[in-house]
Amino acid sequence: MNIKQPIKPLLLIALIAPSATYASSSAELFYGIFNDAYFWLFMLVAVLLALAYYSVKRAFDTIELAMRPDLAKKKAEALDAEAAAEDAEETGDALSRWYKWFAGLKPMSKEKDLQLDHEYDGIKELDNSLPPWWLYGFYVTIGIAVVYMVYFHILGGPLSSEEYQAEMERAEADVAAYFEKVGGMVDETNVTMVEEDRRLANGKDIFQTNCVACHAADGGGGVGPNLTDEYWIHGNTINDVFKVIKYGVVEKGMTPWRNQLSASDMQDVASYVLTLVGTEPANPKEPQGEKM
Ligand code: HEC
């Protein structure tokens, strides 16, 4: 049977299907349809229809041949001629001759010469040599292996671990460059009060989520000290407050936040804490530390 035959109509259906369901030229939609269940449903139905068409057609062809011996004879002759031409080897254009060589195809007529002289239960073996496509593919992999070994293990090309190292260094440099651009990496030595409402609001959010359990929602204190009075254990400058938030006071129960909050978030919440000074909390804790 000629297997190329069903492929053409199938391709046609594959091309029509998307354009029929989605009459849009946008590239995004074009790729989007591959995620669409209806598209695949449509394709499935199309494939099933094509298969149904070809099995029916084949059935009819067989019936026709059975009913018309003259046709059957003609067809058999055509097949014989094809086989004879194939055996003659010189047939076909350059491309198909090359393909026969590349795939290692031997004409049927040469089969007798290739046959090995053993036989098991009627099964015989042909002494075919490896098909060139396989053999050359194998040689290419050997070549690649040699080049690989010489380049990476003798000439000192970058090994995976070194590439990883270099990539990490590049990423670190990128991060540093980024912080350089957005105004320097904030730490306890260079932190400043933020004044923008947006950032103070962010500081308040962070305080409400992370700090109220110990400092109370209004900063009046609880497990942790009152943040609204003038008494401070660790100092009342933005640098002091930032530092306490960043590193915590673990032995006294104040959590370090440097792994949970970004530097700019800690800056925001530290600034917010300082805006609480002078406000009047509902249940102020007694002063701790020194008056400042
Ligand atoms: C698990 C309880 C707890 C949580 C949660 C907590 N703190 Fe504290 N915090 C404390 C304790 C206890 C102290 C007192 C430390 C000391 O005695 O040295 C303290 C101290 C402080 C101080 C220094 C006060 C001073 O008098 O110097 C600041 C500022 C502060 N916390 C801010 C925060 C912020 C902001 C958060 C949220 C991001 C937070 N804390 C979350 C328990 C907590």
Predicted pLDDT of residue 129: 84
Mutation test residue for ligand 1: of 209, 239, 244, the one with most atoms within 8 Å of CB: 244
pLDDT-wise least confident of 16-30, 112-126, 270-284: 16-30
* Joined tokens for residue 269: 């919440």
Q: pLDDT of 170-199, one tens digit each?
A: 999 988 788 766 655 788 888 999 988 999
Q: Is the CB of 48 under 6 A from ligand 1?
A: no
CA of residue 184 to ligand 1 center, whole Å: 26
Task: Give 126 Cα–ligand 1 centroid separation in angstroms.
Answer: 85
Residues 228-243 have a mean pLDDT of 94
Residue 52: strand, helix, or coil: helix
What residues does each domain of the chain span?
7-67, 82-126, 197-291
DSSP designation for 249: B
Testing ligand 1's pocket by substitution, the residue of 202, 205, 207, 215 carrying the most ligand atoms inside 8 A of its CB is: 215
d(CA 133, CA 240): 73
First to last CA, the chain: 97
Does the C-beta of 255 come closer than 6 Å to ligand 1? yes
From the CA of 189, how far away is ligand 1's center (Å)?
A: 20
Sign of CA dihedral 200, 202, 206, 208: positive
What is the pTM assigned to this prediction?
Answer: 0.48
Domain 197-291, CATH class in plain words: mainly alpha
**116 or 26, higher pLDDT:** 116
Structure confidence at residue 102 (pLDDT): 85
Mean pLDDT of the region 220-248: 94
The 10s digit of each residue's pLDDT in 84-115 is: 776 665 566 788 888 888 888 877 777 778 88
What per-residue confidence (pLDDT) applies to 182? 65
Quick one: pLDDT at residue 14? 59
The DSSP-derived string for 92-146 is S-HHHHHHHHHTT---GGGHHHHEEEEEETTEEEE-PPPPHHHHHHHHHHHHHHH
- Check pLDDT > 60 for residue 42: yes
Q: Is the CB of 234 under 6 A from ligand 1?
A: yes
